[in-house]
Structures are given as structure tokens and as C-alpha cells.
Amino acid sequence: MKITENTLECRKQNKDTITNCGNSVEHERRRNGQSDSRMIEKDDINTNEPTEGMLERILSRGNMNNAYLKVKRNKGAGGIDKMEMDELLEHLKTHREEILSSLLNNSHKPYPVKRVEIPKENGKTRKLGIPTLVDRVIQQAILQELSPIYETKFAEASYGFRPNKGCHDALKK
């Protein structure tokens, strides 16, 4: 993945304008109304994964059940709705169709996150946002379907917010 020298030169000359600076991929896309602050010669970000039926796979009974189990195992505090973990399963059973329908017709509105500050050793506080348990199940269901697709596309040297990778692993490299 390399940015062409022509592209870099054009960027220096024309920061805010679109002009004809040759036939680079970036300028061709920009002329066609597409923009990206860091276009590359080879577009290898395409996952070639079928997106047809993705939402249905995310909302499938098996995936949603696995998401519920993962959220239950992680425990954690409830969100602003004050729902407790022992209430979650019954709520999901009772409101399953309503939740699925709102997600399928794009009318689902996640609750605001509960803001909590926890003390740090240096005396400062760390701000957390805690989603409701239902929103956590939905987020987990999405993660379970998208993570296998995109995880293989990340650079090996990328350690931020990756499963089984962290800053200590990056420092070892």
C-alpha cells in the first residue's frame, strides 16, 4: 500500500481544491465525488465477504443467544435503565420480537450510556460509559459477526482494541 509521489505533490499544491494532478487513483476518485484523506494505489480493504443477509445473521437466534451468554459471563453493572443481570433473560424473552423488529426496520434507539467515574491510582478519575444490558447484547451480537470478517484485515502491528492483543504485547515487539 503506497501513496504515489504524484498524489503527495498534488496534496501539497491543492489542499482544498480538486484539480487535475495526473491520473492517480486519489484524483480520479475525487473527480468522481469520492473522497478519502488517505487513498492508496491498491484497495485491499475490500473484505469480499457477502453482506447479503448480514443483519439477519446478526439477529439470528443462535447468535443472539451466544451474545446473551457472553454478556452474562462478563457480568458488570447495568445501565441507566437499572436492569439487573438476573432480569435480562426474562426481558429478552418477553420483548424479543419488539427488539428484533426495531433493529430490522432501523428504528432501534439505544439508550444513553450511564456515565460513571472510577478513581485511578494517581488521584484522577477514569470516565466510563456503561450501556444498558439489552444494548450490550445487541453490541455483542454485532461484534460476533463482524469481528471474524475484519480481524483478519488488520495489520499485524496493530494492537489497539484487538482481541488478545494489548499495549504490553506491542511493547514486546
DSSP of 132-162 = -HHHHHHHHHHHHHHHHHHHTTS-TT--TT-
> How crowded is residue 10: how many other Cβ atoms within 10 Å of its Cβ?
21
Per-residue pLDDT at 141: 98
Q: What kind and span of H or E run contains 25?
A: helix 25-31
Per-residue pLDDT at 57: 95
Q: Which three cell numbers stand for residue 107?
A: 428504528
Q: Which three cell numbers stand for residue 67?
A: 451474545
What is the C-alpha to C-alpha distance for residues 140 and 169, in angstroms, rounded to an integer? 24
Residues belonging to the chain: 173
The residue assigned the cell 460513571 is 116
Tens place of pLDDT per residue across the chain (173 aa): 333 444 444 444 444 433 344 433 444 444 445 444 443 334 455 556 666 789 999 999 999 999 999 999 998 889 999 999 999 999 999 999 999 999 999 999 999 999 999 999 999 999 999 999 999 999 999 999 998 888 777 777 777 767 777 777 777 77
21, 62 contact by CB (below 8 A): no
Per-residue pLDDT at 144: 96
Write b or e for each residue in 12-38: b if 16 or more Cβ atoms lie within 10 A of its Cβ, otherwise e. eeeeeeeeebeebbbbeebeeeeeeee
Per-residue pLDDT at 169: 73
Per-residue pLDDT at 136: 98
Per-residue pLDDT at 167: 75
Domain ranges of the chain: 1-45, 54-171
What is the C-alpha to C-alpha distance for residues 28 and 56, in angstroms, rounded to an integer? 36
Per-residue pLDDT at 46: 55
